[in-house]
Structure 1
Amino acid sequence: MPNYFRANVDAMASYIPGEQPPRGTQIIKLNSNENPYPPSPLALAALQNIDGEQLRRYPEPFGGEFRQAASQVLGVPSDWMIVGNGSDEILSIVIRACTEPGRKVVYPMPTYVLYRTLTEMQAADVVEIPYKEDYSLPLDELIAADGAVTFIASPNSPSGHIVAKADLRKLASHLSGVLVIDEAYVDFAQENAVDLVQEYANVILIRTLSKGYSLAGLRLGFGVANPQLLDGLLKVKDSYNVDAIASTVATAAIIDQAYKNACVAKIQASRNQLTTDLKNLGFHVWDSQTNFLLVQPPQNNAEYLYQQLKAQKILIRYFKQPGLDDKLRITVGTDEQNQTLVKALGYLLQELPTE
């Protein structure tokens, strides 16, 4: 068969998302960090009220309705925002606009592996700098690398930790390229870095409605940055990248902060209880400011537990890569789901022979 692809595309590995069982499958799904609660009633009502005229016409090309609503929530001018088909598209826009062969994309590892995939698509240079054992930021190394784009996920996946704002501020002030602060999980955290975009022209903050707002299936995310930075990014944005349904539903969801905050509070409480329960089983559990936990089983048998839970129709995430192959990432579900998981793990651990 002929080779139709660019050399860099031919050589790269595909991004592998978490398993997505068919709808209606009786399974406890704790592998993709989805919110266990339904979207805002206001969002569902907005969806039901979509009319044919909204579908007949092209959508507003810049997501203006959503930008206005998000502006009120974040206290940032609406023209400081770019809206995308999920936050992944905003990440892709940054890479397409700012990188090329010979330009570096830098980030600490382990983190969101899509950064590597997007960089390889553009044949730019990947520079991965290991996190320290305690997940403190390798600040000096990141500054020295001085990438055209530097990605920092805060809170980070899969570790769940938040990066100190002082470290982000130091990075922004020392880098000559763009600093992307990926705040996909910020709704579950104690602080955010939205003020840095007004302090530094090279910072873009990226958010999603997939996690805190229970809209992973909708695909809407946005970036916040100085308009001068956005001007360059908008040049490579698809003409109508956010559909009318997504914009309308997301607008209703982000306005309903009371509902979102109530769901977040339930998840944070469940996260604390799940942490305690797993520690009681002997797991090492890293502190988390997300809706998931990174854990290490007491007998270092992460892959075995992942497979056994999957056989019992409980999905969690296992990463077969250095630094993570002895760990598991577990999405915080409802209290009932979490207790089913804990009970299953307790039985599995009892069945294992002790040395």
Structure 2
Amino acid sequence: MSNYFRANVEAMASYVPGEQPPRGTQIIKLNSNENPYPPSPKALAALKNIDGEWLRRYPEPFGGQFRQAVSQVLGVPSDWVIVGNGSDEVLSILIRACAEPGRKVVYPMPTYVLYRTLTEMQAADILEIPYAEDYTLPIAELIAADGAVTFIASPNSPSGHVVPKADLRKLASNLSGVLVIDEAYADFADENALDVVQEFDNVMVIRTLSKGYSLAGLRLGFGIANPQLLAGLFKVKDSYNIDAIACTVGTAAIIDQAYKNECIAKITASRHKLAQDFKQLGFRVWDSQTNFLLVQPPQNNAEYIYQQLKAQNILIRYFKQPGLEDKLRITVGTDEQNQVLVEAIQGLGTGG
């Protein structure tokens, strides 16, 4: 067969998302950091009331209705918002606009592995700088690298830690390229970097409705940045990248802050209990400001536990990569799901 692909695409590995079992499968799914609670009733009502005329016509090219909702809820001007088909698309837009061969994309590791995949698509240079054991940000190394794009996930996956805003400000003031603060899990955290993005014209914050708003299946995310930075991104955005359904449902969801905050409170309480349960089992548990935990089994048999739980229809996440081979990332489920998980691990004893 002929080689149809660019050399960098041929050489790259595909991004591997968490396993997605068929709908209706009787399984406890704790591997993709989905919210265990249903979306806002107001979002579901908006879905039921979709007008067929909205589907006949092209949608708003910039998701204006949703931009206004973000402005209302977060207190940022609507022209500081770019809307994407999930926050992953916003990441892709930014990489397409800013990265190319000879320009570096820089980030600390371990973190969201899609950063590498998107960068490889553009054949741009990649510099991955290891986190310290305690996940202290390697600020000096990141500044020295001075990437065209520097990604900082805060809270970070899979560690769950938040990067102090003082560190983010120091980075922003010393980088000549774009600093992207990926806040996919910000709804679960004690603080965020929205004020940082308004202080620096080279900073962009990215959010999603997949986690805090229980809308992973809708695919809706957004970025916040100075309009001068967004102007370049709009040049490479697809013409109608946000469909009318996502815009309408997402608007209803983000406005319903009371429901979102109620779910966040339940998840946070469950996270604290689950962390204590794992500690009682002898696991090392990293502090988390997300809807998941990073844990290390006392027997360092993470892959064995992952496989054994999978056989019992319990999915968690195992990353076979440096620094994570002996750890597991586990989404916080409902209290009932978490209890089943803990009892299943207890049942494994010290095998493996």
Give the TM-score, by structure 2 length.
Answer: 0.99
Letter in 2 for 1:55: L
Aligned-pair CA distance for 1:51? 1.5
**Paired position in structure 2 for 1:25:** 25
Q: 3-state DSSP class of the match of 2:329?
A: strand
Question: For 1:1-16, what aligned pairs fall within 5 Å after superposition?
Answer: 1-16=1-16
| Cα displacement string for residues 75-130 of structure 1 (whole angstroms, at most 9, x for unaligned residues) | 00000000000000000011000111000000000000000000000000000000
| Cα displacement string for residues 137-195 of structure 1 (whole angstroms, at most 9, x for unaligned residues) | 00000000000000000000000000000000000000000000000000000000001
Aligned: 1:304 with 2:304: yes
**Paired position in structure 2 for 1:248:** 248
Letter in 2 for 1:271: R
Give, in whole Å, the separation in 1 of the partners of 2:196 and 2:129: 23
Aligned-pair CA distance for 1:349? 2.1
Give, in whole Å, the separation in 2 of the partners of 1:349 and 1:282: 11
| Cα displacement string for residues 328-349 of structure 1 (whole angstroms, at most 9, x for unaligned residues) | 0000000000000000001102
Identity of counterpart residues, as a percentage?
Answer: 84
Give, in whole Å, the separation in 2 of the partners of 1:179 and 1:141: 14
Letter in 2 for 1:328: L
**Paired position in structure 1 for 2:157:** 157
Letter in 1 for 2:234: L
Question: For 1:142-291, what aligned pairs fall within 5 Å after superposition?
Answer: 142-291=142-291
Give the TM-score, by structure 1 length.
Answer: 0.99
Aligned-pair CA distance for 1:316? 0.1
Give, in whole Å, the separation in 1 of the partners of 2:85 and 2:24: 25
Letter in 2 for 1:52: G
Give, in whole Å, the separation in 1 of the partners of 2:348 and 2:322: 25
Give, in whole Å, the separation in 2 of the partners of 1:52 and 1:71: 27
Q: Which consecutive residues of structure 2, in runs of 5 or more, have no partner in the other structure?
A: none
Give, in whole Å, the separation in 2 of the partners of 1:214 and 1:6: 37
**Paired position in structure 2 for 1:318:** 318
Letter in 2 for 1:199: E
Give, in whole Å, the separation in 2 of the partners of 1:163 and 1:146: 18
How many equivalent pairs are there? Answer: 352
Give, in whole Å, the separation in 1 of the partners of 2:223 and 2:349: 44
**Paired position in structure 2 for 1:338:** 338
CA RMSD, 1 decimal: 0.6
Aligned-pair CA distance for 1:301? 0.2
Give, in whole Å, the separation in 2 of the partners of 1:118 and 1:197: 23
Give, in whole Å, the separation in 1 of the partners of 2:70 and 2:48: 22
Aligned: 1:76 with 2:90: no
Letter in 2 for 1:28: I
Give, in whole Å, the separation in 2 of the partners of 1:43 and 1:337: 25
Aligned-pair CA distance for 1:255? 0.2
Give, in whole Å, the separation in 2 of the partners of 1:322 and 1:69: 41
Letter in 1 for 2:337: Q
Q: 3-state DSSP class of the match of 1:294?
A: strand
Q: 3-state DSSP class of the match of 1:195?
A: helix
Q: 3-state DSSP class of the match of 1:346?
A: helix
Give, in whole Å, the separation in 1 of the partners of 2:197 and 2:282: 42
**Paired position in structure 1 for 2:38:** 38
**Paired position in structure 1 for 2:113:** 113
**Paired position in structure 2 for 1:92:** 92
Aligned-pair CA distance for 1:197? 1.3
Structure 1 ranges of 4+ moved more than 2 A? none
Give, in whole Å, the separation in 2 of the partners of 1:100 and 1:311: 43
Aligned-pair CA distance for 1:14? 0.2
Give, in whole Å, the separation in 2 of the partners of 1:197 and 1:307: 42
Give, in whole Å, the separation in 1 of the partners of 2:81 and 2:189: 22
| Cα displacement string for residues 206-247 of structure 1 (whole angstroms, at most 9, x for unaligned residues) | 000000000000000000000000000000000000000000
Q: Which consecutive residues of structure 1, in runs of 5 or more, have no partner in the other structure?
A: none
Give, in whole Å, the separation in 1 of the partners of 2:6 and 2:311: 39
Give, in whole Å, the separation in 2 of the partners of 1:83 and 1:30: 27
Aligned-pair CA distance for 1:198? 1.0
Give, in whole Å, the separation in 2 of the partners of 1:128 and 1:86: 24
